[in-house]
Structure formats: structure tokens, C-alpha cells
Amino acid sequence: MRRSRVSIPRLLCFCLAVLLSAHAAAVPIPWKNCGKPTDLLSISKSDVSVWPPSVAAPVNATATFDTSGNLQNLRVFLVHGFVWTFNSGPLPATQSGGFVSLPASFPVTLIKPPLPLAAGPVGTTHVFGANSATPTTVVQSANLASDINLPVTTTVSLAFGGTPGFPLKANGGAYDVRVQMTESDGTGVFCMDMTVPLKSGGLVDVIAPTAIPSLSRVGLALVALLIGVGATLAIRRIG
């Protein structure tokens, strides 16, 4: 029976690669707990594959504007124990010099996950920028002390460079994010506060709809004429 030879240098390189990859996947996320020890959701592990992240993680947002430049919705996506998605709805935001100013904090509505959430241990793994050249993986372990039930109140604060708001076109920079959730009786669910430093890109993706082209007066007159001609022909056919 022939025995296969094992290359010692190759085996050592493989073990080293495994150790390095394990270490790279275990960088603690530097977030702060702004809640109370009695909050329902407690995080025991919050690791990321690389920090600063190559893409916005463990939180990002999508801003949707209408054709008049009004902020219709800010969707916030957050991995914190669970994978959370929130919608703000229309916000009193202003634009100046390519920067969107936001209130210091604003309420959001929970979209996902659906409530109630059952008490118990939670394990979450999510890949940010899965289709990019440099994805970022977040791995978390948490425990929920008791069920989370509707209704809940959630507020978000988002700042760039210390100023509430975000740039329309960003190429790196530091974003400050704070998310706090409480139940209707005042029981805290969680409060997380963190700074996400990005070397490139931004934390907020901007969706601006293409303006619908308006017809000139001549175009409107032509449309009215065509409608009139069509109506006349239809009446003649009936008669």
C-alpha cells in the first residue's frame, strides 16, 4: 500500500493561512453600549473580518429623494444581535454644498425582523458588500433576556465628521451612528453607539429619481389637438 507523502513546508503554510484567516475574521467591532445593564439584548461577541471595514458595516443606509430634492426615506440597515431594518419616512432635511443636514436624532419604524422576537441566544453572520471585491463579514453572538413585543420606539442619530447628516457623494470619512430601541413600557431593548471610519465610499447610498420630462406649451397644444381629432373621428363613426 502506497503512502502519500505530506510536504511539511506546505502543511506549515496551510496552518499559518488558517491561523491568519481566523485572526482576520475576529477583529472586535469598537462599538459602545449606550444602554443600561437591564436592556433586553446583550451582545457577547461582535467581530468583523477587517477594521476599518472595506465597505460600510455593520451599519449602512439608503436615502431616497424625490424629484424636488426632498428626503422621502432613510432606510437604516444594522446588524446588532439581529439583522434590523428601519424606515424613517419623510425627514425635515436640508441640502447645502452637497451635504444633507439631518435632525440630531429622528424616529424610525421597524421593518424587519417581524415582532415578537423570542427570548434566547442569538447567532448572526452577515456579509456586507458580498458582490464587491472586498466583502466584510460580521459575526455576532447575543442573548435576548425576554421576548420583544410590539410596539417599540426606535431613534437614530447619524452624523458625518461630527455634523448631523451625510454627504451626497462621499469618498471616505468617519460616520457616527447611534441606534436606540425601547418597548412601550420604557424597557430598554438596546442602545449602540459607534463610529464607522471608511477609507473610501460612503455609509449612505443615495437614490435620486430621474426627473420626468415636462411637455412644452407647443407639445401640450399638439396633444390636445390629437385628442380632439380622435374624439371627432369617433363621433363621426358613431353617427
In a domain, 108, yes or no: yes
Q: How far apart are CA 106 and CA 87, in angstroms?
A: 11
Number of domains the chain is built from: 1
| Residues in the chain, pLDDT under 70 | 1-25, 210-239
Q: What is the pLDDT of residue 208?
A: 84
In a domain, 7, yes or no: no
In a domain, 46, yes or no: yes
Q: Give this prediction's pTM.
A: 0.78
**45 is in which domain, residue-wise?**
15-233
Task: Give the other-Cβ count within 10 Å of 160's Cβ.
Answer: 20
Cell of residue 190, nine digits: 438596546
In a domain, 6, yes or no: no
DSSP for residue 179: E
Q: What is the pLDDT of residue 4?
A: 38
In a domain, 8, yes or no: no
In a domain, 34, yes or no: yes
In a domain, 3, yes or no: no
Q: What is the pLDDT of residue 119?
A: 98
Alpha helix ranges (H) inside the chain: 8-24, 217-238
In a domain, 128, yes or no: yes
Q: Is there a contact between 150 and 156 (Cβ–Cβ < 8 Å)?
A: no
